[in-house]
Amino acid sequence: MKLNEAFRTGTFRATVVGSLFFAAAMLLLYGFLFWQTAGYERARINAFLISESKALLQESPSQQLHDVETRFAGDLHRLTFAAIFSADGRVEGGDISAYPPGLVLDGAVHSVIVMRPGPHGPIRERARALGSRLPDGRLLIVGRTEADLAKLRAILSRGFVLGLAPGIALALLAGTLASVRMLARIATLNQTIARIMAGEIDARLPVNRSRDAVDRLALSVNRMLDRIEQLIHEVQGVGDDIAHDLRTPLARARSRLEGGRLRALTREELGQVVDRAIADLDQTFTTITALLRIRHIETSERRTNFGDVNLTALLKEAQDLYQPVAELRGQTIDMRDGPAVTVVGDRDLLFEAVANLIDNAVKFSPEGGKVMISVHEDGKLGPIMRIADSGSGIKLAERDAVLRRFYRADPSRHAAGTGLGLSLVAAILRLHDFQLTMADADSMFTIEIRCRPTAGTA
């Protein structure tokens, strides 16, 4: 991994931006500190100068001059100074060489430039000074240089630079390291994804113990991969089922034709063989057509044909359609009367679903058995359709499976049909967002369809 790649990561960019904010905050803090300390220092100097000036003013003129010469000019640090000027501005004593220009005598401390004698001639210094006129007309000036303030500023500046530079350097280093680490993880993730794309469908993204954002993402992706893997296995299973269910009648047709070719003695015999082979082929076509239809219903949002459907009338029609079939088997189809129940849906598809369920109910009920159908409004939950029969029902373990795309519960293997009836029903109900449940009650196997309540009734 290249370092410049790390510099391009979001983590690194965030670090740089963070460092800039950090520097700005430091600058503000130091500025505030300096402003506060400088203010405090100035006030301290002011107070000191005012009190010194007051003390000097109360002394006798000779004492004043003495004090100015010794106490102030004798300051080893050369911080404070004082001087007495004659009324016409000549220096009478003290340690500044000229009256500071611009110093007004208003009893307040001012910031001025003073010239003070140094070993190699006068030195310009910034100072705070207080000037007062003595009763005899002379001028007294007390002051203190701002050297302390300058020193303070220097210390703070050094502290700022020395504190900030390593701080930013550390932040950038940490940012770079984090970016490099992140890039390494991304690289691992990418490698894993490449393996999955290459067909290693059971590979999973590595997850650290940190449970950070990337980990959570990786966990989600892994869960998604689990689901996809499961679906792929299901599809593979379905593919095998389809292949098997298509192979069986094709194989039968083939062997019939071969047998007929070898053994049929008359045109009539050959005709019978061919007829049976055609029936076998027709079964494969029926299966293929049913599969295509299920796929079509599942994939197309065929809500274009949706409208109000009177379920009561629809069930009545289905009952009417299957009554003769039931009669032939000595069965009855009973429908409980009730008020008309309406849903929004595709009438043709819903009829097909109901017809399929009644078809099954009749087919799997014993001779003389009974089928009961009903529909009623269940308050706010919406309409419920029930189709119950006195047949053997579907084993608990198989109930979910029979609704899958291509599944035939074993007992029906030998019954006519493609075995796709319930899968088709499930697809139609999914399109409508209706729920199908199966239950055994009062020795009847009941299929219950919970419909979505129509707007207005809810």
Partner 1 sequence: MLNMDESRPPPSPVAGTRLRLLLVEDDSEIAAEIAADLGQRGYDITHVDAGDQAVPVAEHGQFDLLIVDRMLPGLDGLSVIERLREENIRVPVLVLSALTAVDERVRGLKAGGDDYLTKPFDLSELAARVEALLRRPLETRDTLLRVGQLTLDLIEREAERNGRRIELLPREFKLLQYLMRRPNQVVTRAMLLEDVWHYRFVPQTNLVDVHIGKLRRKLDLPGESTLIESIRGTGFLFREIE
Residues that bind partner 1 (CB under 8 A): 271, 275, 281, 285-286, 289, 292-293, 296, 302, 320-322, 324-325, 327-328, 348, 351-352, 355-356, 359, 362-363, 416-418, 421
Q: How far is the CB of 397 from partner 1 (least distance, A)?
A: 24
Report the residue number, 80 or 283, with the smaller CB distance to partner 1: 283
Do residues 8 and 186 touch, judged by C-beta distance below 8 A?
Answer: no
Do residues 367 and 329 touch, judged by C-beta distance below 8 A?
Answer: yes
Q: How far is the CB of 429 from partner 1 (least distance, A)?
A: 15
Q: How far is the CB of 454 from partner 1 (least distance, A)?
A: 24
Report the residue number, 175 or 249, with the smaller CB distance to partner 1: 249
Report the residue number, 191 or 289, with the smaller CB distance to partner 1: 289
DSSP state at residue 379: G
Report the residue number, 214 or 270, with the smaller CB distance to partner 1: 270
Q: How far is the CB of 285 from partner 1 (least distance, A)?
A: 6
Report the residue number, 348 or 378, with the smaller CB distance to partner 1: 348
CA 436, 440, 445, 446 torsion: positive or negative? negative
Buried b (16+ CB within 10 A) or exposed e, 125-135: bebbbbbbeee
Q: How far is the CB of 325 from partner 1 (least distance, A)?
A: 5
102 torsion bin: left (phi>0), alpha (psi -120 to 50), beta (else): left
Integer-rounded Cα Rg, in Å, for the chain is 51
Give the CA-trace dihedral at 282, 287, 292, 298, to 10 degrees. Answer: 150
Would you state the structure tokens that stand for residue 228, as one six-digit string? Answer: 């996809």
Give the CA-trace dihedral at 312, 318, 323, 324, to 10 degrees. Answer: 150
Q: How far is CA 421 from CA 198, 402, 416, in A?
A: 37, 9, 11
CA distance 290 to 432: 19
Report the residue number, 104 or 265, with the smaller CB distance to partner 1: 265
Q: How far is the CB of 431 from partner 1 (least distance, A)?
A: 13
Q: How far is the CB of 240 from partner 1 (least distance, A)?
A: 24
Which residues does 352 contact at the CB level (< 8 Å), separation at least 6?
424, 428
Q: How far is the CB of 14 from partner 1 (least distance, A)?
A: 54
Report the residue number, 226 or 282, with the smaller CB distance to partner 1: 282
Which residue has 């006798």 as its token pair?
Answer: 60
Q: How far is the CB of 238 from partner 1 (least distance, A)?
A: 20
CA distance 322 to 145: 115
DSSP state at residue 454: P
Helix H or strand E encompassing 111: strand 110-118
Q: How far is the CB of 436 from partner 1 (least distance, A)?
A: 18
Report the residue number, 226 or 348, with the smaller CB distance to partner 1: 348
CA distance 264 to 268: 8
Report the residue number, 3 or 292, with the smaller CB distance to partner 1: 292
DSSP assignments along 325-346, one per residue: HHHHTT-EEEE------EEEE-
Report the residue number, 254 or 293, with the smaller CB distance to partner 1: 293
